[in-house]
Structure formats: structure tokens, C-alpha cells
Amino acid sequence: MPRVPGRLLRAKINGEYIACETSCDFNYEVEMRGASAVTSGRWKEVIPGVRSWGLTLNANLMLSAAGANIQPILNAIMTGEVLDIEFRTDISLVPELAISGKVFVSGGSIGSAVGSNVSWNTSFTGSGPFAYTAGSFNVGFGYSATDPFGDEEELEPQFFKDIGSVSMDLDYTTASAGNYLYAIVPTALTTVFDEWFNNIYNFGTIPDFVWREPVVIGANRYYISRDPLYFTSDESEITFTKS
């Protein structure tokens, strides 16, 4: 299995990547409470109690840079603001790993030394649960010469693709010209999928002039074009990326 370079796992604060980040660590803990009984033979037994999590972040100081820097951290200390944080792999990686949640700033420092860059670090303490997505999903897609409206469950995809929840390419080929296009997406992916856009048709904003409102049947959500769609030779592939 290929390893993931450290530079491809980065942190976001309020939707912006940290500028000049040098390292970031996600930490978690489950408090174990004693639960020994007479029948345990004096062996220690435990049950899980309170769960907690947080992140520690290190970066070089950039007073003017694209992305988040020390400023939102300092502001959050002054105001007591809760921050949205996301610790995720780069969008180029499929499958992905993304951990996110609400945090408060709980500590940190800014340091300088002659002959080196000014750096800063901070610690975040999670408030409430964290959420995560990991792995990939199997999406079926294809095209039909007749309108499959009302018969979604009978659709048999011509193609399947394992994708992460970041991006995917659906190659319909030029044979799909003049056909109804469809995608069968696991419901576990739809909360992210609904936010996606593509370079030809809007597949995410439902309903619109191209795609019908999706239908949920069992563990899948079905997206079907309203009318037959026509592709040119250079438009045979629809590329979806998270916005």
C-alpha cells in the first residue's frame, strides 16, 4: 500500500488551509472508569467514559499570506470564538481521510531565534464530537436509450467506479450521445455529493434543467437526466470535484 506524504495531510481553520504549516497532530482520548466486580478475581476491569479530542499545530509565521495564519487564532483567544477545524488529506488523494469538528484554542506560543524563522504553535480542544470520512465508495453509472423514470430500481449500470468523497470522473464515452444519463450513488456519499459541481452540467444542484430530483431507493440515490444529453468527442467525460 502506498504511504501518504506528510505534506498531503493538512489542517483547515474556518475553511482555510493554514499558511506555511509545518506539522499537525490529531489526538484523542477515552477516559477509562473502573468497573471491577467481585467475580473479576481482583483483575482490573474498565468501561469507557468521557471521550475527548484535539489538535496541535505548528507553522512558520506569515504576516501576509494566502490562507489562515496566527491572526484568527489570536482573535479566537480574545473573543472566545469556537472554530471549525478540519484535518484532511489533499483533494488529490482518493480515498481520502478527513476529520472535522468544533474546537476552542487552549494554548500556544510564538517563538523567534536569531538565524531561524519565526514560528508559532497552538493547541485546540474539541468541543463535542468529531466527524470523519474515510475510504471509498462504489458508484454505478451509465446511459439508457429510453427514459427510465419510474423504473430507477431496474437500472443496470454499464460502468462502476470506486471513488473517494472528494472527486470522480464518469466516462460515458461518445456512445452515450442522445441517451439519458444516470448515476447510482450510495446514500453514505450523498451529503458530500450534493455539494459537487462539474465542468459540463450541474449534477449537484437538484432539481435543475438537466437533472431530475434524486430518488432514494434502499441504500442508493439515483440521479437521472431530465432529457437525453448529447456529448461531443471532447465531452465524453464528466468530472466532479468538491466545491
| CA gap 204, 235 in Å, rounded | 18
Residues in the chain: 243
Grid coordinates 484535539 are at which residue?
Answer: 54
Q: Which three cell numbers stand for residue 106?
A: 487552549
Q: Where are the domains of the chain?
A: 6-134, 136-242
Q: Is residue 202 within 8 Å of 210, Cβ to Cβ?
A: yes
- For domain 6-134, give its CATH number from 2.60.40, 2.30.110, 1.20.58, 2.40.70: 2.30.110
What nine digits make up the cell of 108? 500556544
Question: What is the predicted pLDDT for the residue at 188?
Answer: 64
Q: What is the pLDDT of residue 141?
A: 84
Instruction: Give me the tens of pLDDT residue by residue for the chain, a chain 243 residues long.
Output: 456 677 778 898 988 888 888 899 999 999 999 887 777 788 888 899 999 999 999 998 877 655 678 888 999 999 999 999 999 877 556 566 788 999 999 999 999 888 888 999 999 999 999 988 776 667 788 888 899 988 888 888 888 777 665 556 677 776 667 888 888 887 766 545 554 555 555 554 444 457 787 888 887 888 888 888 776 666 666 665 543
pLDDT of residue 128: 94
- Give residue 138's pLDDT: 73
